[in-house]
Structure 1
Amino acid sequence: MPIFYISDMHIGHQNVLRHDNRPFTDINHMQAVMTANWNSTVSDSDEVYILGDFAWKNAQGLEMLSQLNGKKYLILGNHDKPTEEMKACFQWVKDYAVIQDDETQVVLSHYPIAHWYNQYRGAVHLYGHVHNTKDYQAFLQYAQICKNLAIPFESYNVGCMLYYMDYTPRTLDEIRRSAK
C-alpha cells in the first residue's frame, strides 16, 4: 500500500493563484485538476498525508474531501481551521507526526524544521508552508550548509506547486528522485 504526501493545496483560496503563479484560470479549475491528479494516482486503500494548508474555505474543502480517494491524514497548517465535520474525513488530525514509510522514518510538519527527531539516524523530514518563496530558498541554503558540515539533512518541501509535485500527491521515492 503506497503512502503519498502533499501540502499547501489551499482549496478555496483565490489569491493563491497569483501568489504561487499557479497555472489555472480560477480556483474551480485548480480544484478540478488537483482532484483528477489525486484520483488518477491514489487508490482507495492508499494513505495520503496532507502537510497543512489543505483548505482556505472549509465548505469547499469538505466538498473536495468527499471526492478524493484514499485514507487521508492532516497535519495542521497555519490556514487550517477544520470543522468537526471535516475532521471526521481524516484518519487523524495532528500538529506534527512521525511515521514509518517502509524502512524510512518520516517526520511530518507543516513548517520546515532545522533539526528534527532522529535526523542523525536517517529520518527524513517533509514539510510545506514556504511554497516556492525566498523563505524556501533560505531553508535550502541552510540545508546545504548543514550538508557541507556533514550534518545529515534529508528534507523535502512537498508543496503542491513545486515542479516535482505538480499538484499531485507523491510517494517518498518519487520525491527523493525528483526533488534534486
Structure 2
Amino acid sequence: MALFFTADTHFGDHRTINIQKRPFADVAAMDALIVEQWNAAVGPGDDVWHLGDVARRPGDVAALLERLNGTKHLLRGNNDPDATVAAAGWASVGDYAEIDADGHRLVLCHYPFRSWNGQHRGALNLHGHSHGRLKPMPRQFDVGVDVHGFAPVRLAQLLAPEAERRGGAGAAS
C-alpha cells in the first residue's frame, strides 16, 4: 500500500482553467487527464488524502470517486460544500489531520500555515489552496495538481531534491 496526496482537482470547473491558466481546451479534457494521471499513479489498494477543492458540482463527486483508484480521504477546501463532504466514496472527511508516514509527522490541511504543530520538531505541512503560487517555506509542500503534473504525489517525491522532482539535470541516478 502506498500513500498519496493531492488537492485542487476542481473537476468540472471551467473557471479554474482560466484563473490558473491550466493548459486545457475545456473541462472534459482537464477532467480526463486528471483521472488518467490519478489512476496511473494510484493503485486500488493505495490511500489518497485529497486536501480539498474537489469539484465544481457536488452531485458529480460520488461518480468521480468511483472512477478513481484508492481509498480516498477528504480534508475540506473552501470550494467543498456539505454535499461534497457527504458524497459516497470518502473513507474519512475532516478539516485538518495529523498523521505519521514514512518516519515523518504530517500536518494536513487545505490551507497552508505560517506555522504549524511540530514545525520546529521536523513536522511537515502539506496543503493545497495556493495552486503553486506561494513562496516555498522549509518543510511545507503544496500537493495541488497544478504543481505535480495533475497527479497525486507521494511523500518521497515531495522530499526529493528539486532537480529530481522536476526530472531535470542534476537528478540523482
Scaled to the shorter chain, the TM-score interval is 0.7 to 0.9
What are the residue-to-residue correspondences of 1:1-180 with 2, within 5 Å? 1-83=1-83, 86-133=86-133, 136-137=134-135, 140=136, 143=137, 153-162=138-147, 165-177=148-160, 178=165
Give runs of ≥4 in structure 1 deviating > 6 Å.
none
TM score, norm. by length of structure 1: 0.84
Shift of 1:83: 2.0
Q: CA deviation at 1:160?
A: 0.5
What one-letter code is carried by the residue in structure 2 that aligns with 1:172?
Answer: L
Measure, in 2, the Cα distance between the counterparts of 1:5 and 1:118: 20
Distance 1:86 1:22 in 2: 28
Q: Which amino acid aligns with 1:71?
A: T
Change (3 A) 1:82 1:37: farther
- Matched to 2:143, the amino acid is V
- Give the Cα separation in 1 of the matches to 2:32 and 2:73: 21
Alpha carbons 2:61, 2:87 under 8 Å: kept: no
**Distance (whole Å) between structure 2 residues aligned to residue 82 and residue 100 of structure 1:** 27
TM-score using structure 2 length: 0.88
Unaligned runs of 5+ in 1: 144-152
For the residue of structure 2 that corresponds to 1:25, the secondary structure is coil
The whole-number CA distance in structure 2 between the counterparts of 1:85 and 1:131 is: 21
Distance 1:61 1:84, change over 3 A: closer
How many percent identity over aligned positions?
33
Give the distance between the partners of 2:87 and 2:75, measured in 1 at CA.
Answer: 11
Distance 1:117 1:72, change over 3 A: same
Tell me the C-alpha RMSD between the 2 structures: 1.6
Give the SS at the match of 2:100. Answer: strand
Distance 2:57 2:89 in 1: 15
**Higher mean C-alpha displacement, 10-19 vs 58-67:** 58-67
CA distance in 2, matches of 1:59, 1:29: 19
Does the C-alpha gap of structure 1 residues 35 and 113 become closer, same or farther in structure 2, counting only changes over 3 Å? same
The secondary structure found in structure 2 opposite 1:78 is coil
Partner of 1:111, secondary structure, is: coil
